[in-house]
Amino acid sequence: MGPRVSGAPEGLVSVRGLLALAVPSAAFVLLTNGYRVVDQYYVQGVSIDAQAAVGSSIFVLLVLFAAAELVACGVGPLVARATGAGDDAERRRVIGTGIVLLILGSMVVGGLGALSAGPISRLLGLQGGAAVACEEYLRALCWTILPLFLTPLLDQAFLAMGNARVPLALHGVSLVLNLVLTPLMVFDLGWGVAGAAYAANLTRGVATTMGLLLLARATGTGRAELRWGPDVGRIVRVGWPIASGTVFYSLVYWAMLHTSISPLGPQVNAALGVGFSALEGVTWPLFHGVALATASFVGRYLGAGRPDLARQMVRRSLPLIGTLGVLATLAFGVGGEYLTGLFTDDLAVHRAATIYAQALAWSQLAVALETLEEGILSGSGATRAIFWGSVPLNILRVPLAWVLAFPCGWGALGVWWAINLTTYAKTLVKGWVVWRGRWSTVQI
Q: Name the pLDDT band for 415 (thresholds 50, 70, 90).
A: very high
**pLDDT above 50 (res 11):** no
For the cut 50, the answer to whether the pLDDT of residue 1 exceeds it is: no
What pLDDT, in 10s, does the model give residues 317-333? 999 999 999 999 999 99
Biggest alpha carbon–alpha carbon distance for the chain: 64
Between the CA of residue 167 and those of 152, 212, 369, 375, what are the distances in Å?
A: 10, 11, 24, 18
DSSP string, 136-187: HHHHHHHHT-HHHHHHHHHHHHHHHTT--HHHHHHHHHHHHHHHHHHHIIII
Q: Give the burial class of 65: count Cβ atoms within 10 A of its Cβ; 0-12 exposed, 13-18 middle, 19 or more buried.
A: buried
The residue among 2 and 205 whose pLDDT is bigger is: 205
Interatomic CA distance for residues 232 and 225, integer angstroms: 12
Q: Is the pLDDT of residue 43 over 80?
A: no
Rounded Cα gap, residues 101 and 99, in angstroms? 5
* Section 345-361 average pLDDT: 90
Average model confidence (pLDDT) across the chain: 89
Q: What is the pLDDT of residue 8?
A: 55
Under 8 Å between Cβ of 177 and 38: no
The predicted model gives 112-140 an average pLDDT of: 86
Rounded Cα gap, residues 167 and 170, in angstroms = 5
As a whole number, mean pLDDT of residues 85-114 equals: 94
Per-residue pLDDT band at 70 (split at 50, 70, 90): very high
Contacts of 102 (CB under 8 A, 6+ apart): 68, 71, 72, 149, 150, 153
Tell me the pLDDT band of 4, cut-offs 50, 70 and 90: very low
What confidence score (pLDDT) does residue 273 get?
77
Q: Which of 307, 375, 365, 369 is nearest to 18 (CA)?
A: 375
181 or 277: whose pLDDT is higher?
Answer: 181
- In this prediction, residues 385-395 reach a mean pLDDT of 96
2 pLDDT above the threshold of 80:
no
> What is the pLDDT at residue 40?
67
What amino acid occupies position 259? T
Nearest to 327 by CA among 375, 367, 380: 367
- The predicted structure's pLDDT at residue 129: 84
> Which range scores top for mean pLDDT: 54-68, 258-272, 423-437?
423-437
- Between CA 215 and CA 11, with CA 376 as vertex, the angle to 5 degrees is 70
pLDDT (tens digit per residue) in 231-280 = 999 999 999 999 999 889 888 988 998 899 989 988 888 888 788 777 88
Span 293-313, pLDDT tens digits: 999 999 999 999 999 999 999
Count the Cβ atoms, other than its own, within 10 Å of residue 294: 30
Angle at alpha carbon of residue 359, lines to 357 and 365, rounded to 5°: 90
DSSP-assigned letter for residue 188: I
Whole-number pLDDT of residue 9? 60
Find, among 278, 337, 204, 339, the residue nearest to 41 by Cα. 278
Q: Say how far apart CA 368 and CA 287 lie, in whole Å.
A: 5
Q: CA-CA distance, 75 to 67, in Å (whole number)?
A: 13
**29 versus 178: which is more confidently predicted?**
178
DSSP string, 232-301: HHHHHHHHHHHHHHHHHHHHHHHHHIIIIIGGG-HHHHHHHHIIIIIIHHHHHHHHHHHHHHHHHHHHHH
* Residue range 132-160: mean pLDDT, rounded: 91
Nearest to 419 by CA among 349, 366, 340, 352: 366
Looking at the chain, how many residues does it have? 444
- Region 150-177: mean pLDDT is 92
pTM score, two decimals?
0.81
Closest by CA position to 299, among listed 162, 139, 130: 162
Q: How far is CA 96 from the centre of its chain?
A: 23
Q: State which of 43-52, 133-142, 367-376 shows the largest mean pLDDT.
A: 367-376
